[in-house]
Every structure is written in structure tokens, then in C-alpha cells.
Structure 1
Amino acid sequence: MGALHEHTAYSDGTYLTRPADVFQRVKSAGLDFAGSSDHSDNMALPLSVGRGDCSPEQFLDCYLFVDPDNRSDAFVKWKATQEQALAASDNNFTAFRGFEWTSDRFGHANIFFSRNIINAKTGPGYAVSMVRFWQWFTYPAQFGGGSDGLLSFNHPGREDAIESIVEGLGGDPGFTFNDFRYVAAADYRTVGIEVFGKGSEYDSDGPNGSWLSYALDKGWYLAPVGSEDHHDTRWGDADLPKTVFIARSRSRDDLREAMLARRFYAVAQNYNGIRLDYRIDDNPMGSRLRKKNG
């Protein structure tokens, strides 16, 4: 069991925090893994749009350098996050890097395990089209693409800046990832959707009572994610949702394999002790079943 979707001052989390703080706190809580995912918007910029208290004498460190002890990391946040993840990992705990692709029209998505990163706000992906994002996601990683990343749709339905204006006119066709339009080339590595996050339950706000079911009906093969989406410093606390992987070990490769196989599920806040082994005809969780009609 572990914590996914964590924010620090590398994007808009609490001032003077960094991914290493997330990993240390989640590890000390006795969890097995943590995946950080600061917003991609300012991962390439040496600044923070953090929150909390910042004294005048800490102004530069709060807003520009992020970390007074490692100021140069502010210029290489993506690389620094990987270094901090590797440093925090051992046989009993694995930290891994991700980022949150952020569009106020289409929605937010977490990408984990990729070596590269893309920013929605520096191209048409922010409000015009998701085409560039999907092209990046399916383009070979050795040439700067995201072909090694795994994607999870975040808090569906929350980004409605345009939808809320035109809903009475039939709605925005771009709302919730272009109405969860299926992208066959991305199917294999688009693995999850958040159903819990922060202290809330998201799923039942979806069409007919479930965003997860709606996305499945659109053609995606998704497992439910319990997301902390935490911007404070209580990463890993029991009153935040968690995700459980059914994996061979805690190693980074085995966690990624479990995620790719959809062998994971969400537990709500305050229900971190729940464990499930769900099978159909001896097929383990995540299996794609081929059945005749009926």
C-alpha cells in the first residue's frame, strides 16, 4: 500500500518542501511506496507557487529557490526529483517520480515512470487540443516522448472552466478529456482513474453515478486510484486515500508491472486497512476477459 499524487513546493505545495520530504514521511508511516507528481507547469522554472506561511527573510527561498539547502535543484526539479526518489528507496520502500499534466479545460492526468516530461501550458494542450499530449505520450522515450510512462486520469469533472459557461448550450466537447474519447494508441499504458482524492470521493459525480464506469464504457481499461493529492505536509496519513498494488515485490520494476497490469485498487480515507484479492474464474485482478455475448 502506498501514497500517490503528492505535491511539494516544486509546484504548488507547502513552501520549502521537496519530494524528498514526501518520501521520508510516507516511508516513516510504514507504507510501501510513494509516487510524487508535482504539476508540470513550473517543473522547468526555478520558482514556486506554494502555499502556507513564508517569513520575509525566507522570501527568495520560498518563491524562487524552493530549497535553501539545495538551491541549484530549483533549476533541475525533474532531475532532482528522480535523484531524491532513488535516494529514498530501499528493500522495504520504493519512491518513484511522476508529474501532473494540467489543463483547466480537458483535465489533469498523472504520468508515472517516464524519463521525460511535457507541459500542457506551453502549447495547445492547455485549452485547444489534446492531440499534442497524446502524440508525446505515444512517441518513443529515447526521442523525448512518453512511451515509457503510465497514465492515470485525475479527479474527473473538476476542471470545468469552459464547461460551466457553455453547459446550457450543450456543453464543452473537451470537458473531461474530450468526454473520455478513447485513444487506441494510448490504451496499453493508460491504466487508472482517481475515485478518491484529498478527503473526498469523486466517482459518483460522474454520468449515471460513476466516472469510472463511464470511462470503461468509452473503451478505456482502467483501475481505480486512491489519491492523496496532498499540498500540505501530512503525506501518508491514514485519513487520506491510498492505492494498493498487488505486486511481486516493492521494487520499482514490480510496482510498475503491477500498475501496467491493472492489479491495483483504491481505498478511501480512514479505510487504509482494507485488502482485496479479486478474481473471476481464477483470472486475477486486471485480466482482460474474452467472453461470448451473454
Structure 2
Amino acid sequence: MKSTSHLPRLGAFAALIALLSCAPALAEDYNCYFGNTHAHTTYSDGKQMPSDHYSMAKAAGYDFYAITNHALAKYKGFTQESYEATKKEADKFTDAAFVAICGFEFSENDGPGGTGHLCALNTTGYLDATGNEVNLPVFYDWLTKQKTTVAASFNHPGVNTYDSYGYLTASRREEVQMYEVINSGKPHYEGFIAALEKGWRVAPIAAEDGHGTGRIKDTYRTGVLATSLTRENLMQAMRARRVYCTWDKNLRLQFIANGRIMGSVLASPTSLEFTVIVSDPDTSDAGDAIAKIEIVGKKGAAVASKEFASHEVKWTTTCEPKDDYYFVKVYTADKTDGPTAYSAPIWIEKAQPDSSTGGNDVQKN
């Protein structure tokens, strides 16, 4: 699934127009990169230094790896100096084959204003959840003010965490893009559906949440679709929700609707043509063969499915745009207890009959 951008083949004027239009890349222009978005070191409540994490992840074949220590004053090792040191280590380990990311975990927010942890990646600073008058709405709004390309995720979430996914506005929805459907080897699928039903536009990821380097050997990964492996490209892809979670370390997945890649929002389509592209390079392993693909809509209800027996599948089907979102579940031959991978959704934004009521609150009941 590796490919190169078509931009160099354009003429100078056409290339300029393509850049200025900021049009999304074609599906075949994306590479799949695999990594981890959540880990802790000795600077908070974990083990080993950032350099140990980054070096081990790099040696294990990860494309990217994020360190997200708890940003809490109670951890004496977590300071502005240690945060800057982690960023320097991330820069040191980043090269053409590996991207190291520094972020933090907003945690131990005990309310009022809701409870639940979140990671923020690639921030210049951090926000202590136990600070005076700091809560979830404050954190969401803090994210909107960041100057770097930042992505955020709901961590090890439940159905009713984050005050039942409250405090949602249009601007806040754009700042939390990802959801840990897999955390430390455990599924959190029901909460993912709850967040989608509340109106959050979040895409599934897999996070180790390791408090040491022990989980680097595990095989679940976050997949990111980006045109090349740079930190900025990965962060832009995460913000665009071009991500998915997989229990298999190298399963490649793309989900497309009406020519738009997963993570996109389609405005009032009259019909939907879905294309799912899945492959696993381990063709000698029969257990990695694609066994079934499901396209699901509202509340996770299946709207289409098909069985396969191949390591490389491209499937196209159509349906009426009845639901607010659609995503894909991929099943492989060796995993009998549920899907191996979940794609980012594609959202359907239906025309509103009357916009005169205005307001920025998009919370669903």
C-alpha cells in the first residue's frame, strides 16, 4: 500500500492550484503508518526515560511513538524542564524512518465539570487537570488556542465518562479527534458508540498506555494515513481523523465514501458508494487473511457485510445515506472474539431545515 504523491507529475500551475485548494489527497496517495499514542515514563508514574521508550519503539519497527506523561504537579519529575527535555529527545530520535512525539495526559480531573482522561499530542505546553478552576470545558477550550498542530484523544473511556460526553460545541468537536477503542490490550467499543451518538467526531485508535516499555512488544497499533512520514504530516492526519485501530501490527485499512477518505464529512449526499481496501502483508500466515468486512452505521448497526478469504481485499458497495456516520469493522481468520480493526467514521452532515436559531452548542441528547 506504500505509494508516492502524484504532485510532482503536475505542471507548475496545476501544482500551485492543488496546493492552494488544500484538496484532500487521493486515497492511493496515502501510506499506512503504525504506532502508539500514549505512554508514561519516570517523569510521571512510569518507568524508563523517554530515550528508552523511543529507542525501543524504533528498534521494534514502529513508525511513530508518543510519550504522554501525566501533567500533574504531584509528580515531582514532571516539570516544564522535563517536558522540554522530552521534546528534545523526540527531536533527537525523529528521522526519515521514525517519528517521536511528545505530548501529555490531562488526568485526575475529579470534577466538577466531568471526569475522564485525555491525551494532547505535540503541544508546546501543558495543562494540569488539578489546577485551580480547571475542568473538561476549560481543557477543551485550551486546545482551541494551541499554535502547533495538535491532536487529542479520549483515553480508556467508558460509556458515561466525560460527564456523558457533555460540553460539546462545534469548536470543541474539532479539537478532540480520536478515541481509544483499544487501551492497554482492552476494548472500549461501547463508549466509542456513545461518543458518536452524542455528536463527537472521533476516530478509533489503539494505545498502549504503558507505564514502562513492556507493552512495546504488543501487536495492537494505531494506523495513520499520511502522504509521508513526518511529524507534521502525522499530526495533520490525526487532526483530519485519518486513523484506525487494529489488533494486528501491520493490517492496512482505507475506507472511502463517494471518493472521500475516512475521517471526512460529506454534506447532504443523495447516495453513498463505499469502497473498503484492506491488506495484510503476512501472506504466509493464514490467520491474517481477511474473513469479513462490515460497514456499520448508527449505534453500530450493520448496513452491509461480505465474507472473504484473502490477504488483500477491495470491496465496493452502495447504500442510502440514512445515518449520521458510517465506519468499517474488519475481521480476520484467526480472531474469533470480535473485529481485528475499526476504521475512522465518515460523517454525513444533513441539511438543516432552519439555521435561524443559531448557537454554537451541538450537543445531542
Query: Any conservation in 1 of the 2:140–2:175 contact (CA below 8 Å)?
Result: no
Determine the C-alpha separation between the residues in 2 that align with 1:211 and 1:290: 26
Query: How many equivalent pairs are there?
Result: 233
Q: CA deviation at 1:99?
A: 0.3
Name the structure with the higher strand share: 2
Please show how residues 158-237 of structure 1 align to structure 2 within 5 Å.
176-181=161-166, 182-203=168-189, 210-237=190-217
Preserved contact between residue 69 and residue 104 of structure 2 (Cα < 8 Å): yes
> Amino acid of the residue matched to residue 184 of structure 1?
A
d(CA) in 1 for partners of 2:70 and 2:82? Answer: 11
SS in structure 1 at match of 2:193: helix
Partner secondary structure for residue 115 of structure 1 = coil
Aligned to 2:140: 134
Q: Does 1:274 pair with 2:255?
A: no
- Separation of aligned partners in 1, 2:193 and 2:36: 23
Q: Distance in 2 between matches of 1:184 and 1:217?
A: 15
Q: For 2:231 and 2:207, locate their aligned partners in 1 and report how far apart those are by CA, in whole Å.
A: 19
Alpha-carbon distance, 1:284 to partner: 0.9
Aligned pair partner of 1:24 in 47, 55, 60: 55
Paired residues of 1:261 and 1:286 also in contact (CA < 8 A): yes
| C-alpha distance 275-115 of structure 1, shift in aligned 2 (>3 A) | same
Supply the AA of the counterpart residue of 2:62: L
- Deviation per CA, 1:100-124, whole angstroms, max 9, x where unpaired? 0003531000000111100001223
Contact in 1 for aligned 2:56/2:216 (Cα 8 Å): yes
The equivalent position to 2:126 in structure 1, one of 105, 117, 123, is 117
Please name the residue that 1:55 is paired with: none
DSSP-derived class of the 1:111 partner: strand
Quote how far apart the aligned CAs of 1:285 are.
1.2
Structure number with larger C-alpha Rg: 2
Q: Who is 1:152 aligned against?
A: 153
Q: Return 5+ residue gaps in structure 2 as ranges.
A: 1-33, 271-320, 323-365
Report SS of the residue matched to 1:85: helix
Q: Looking at secondary structure, tell me which structure has more helix per residue.
A: 1
Cα displacement (A) at 1:148: 4.5
Cα distance in 1 for residues equivalent to 2:215 and 2:98: 15
Query: What TM-score, normalized to structure 1?
Result: 0.74
Question: How far does residue 138 in structure 1 lie from its aligned partner after superposition?
Answer: 2.2
- d(CA) in 1 for partners of 2:171, 2:100: 28
* Superposed CA RMSD: 2.1
RCO higher in structure (CA 8 A, sep ≥6):
1
Separation in structure 2 between the aligned mates of residue 112 and residue 5 of structure 1, nearest angstrom: 9
Does 1:85 pair with 2:94?
no
Which residue of the other structure, out of 241, 244, 262, is the alignment partner of 2:223?
244
2:77 alignment partner AA: L
Percent identical: 30
* 1:186 Cα deviation after fit: 1.6
Q: Which residue of 2 aligns with 1:108?
A: 117
TM-score when normalising by structure 2:
0.60
Distance in 2 (CA, whole Å) between partners of 1:278 and 1:92 is 25
User: Which consecutive unaligned segments of at least 5 residues does structure 1 have?
Assistant: 49-73, 142-146, 159-174, 204-209
Residue identity in the other structure for 1:149: V
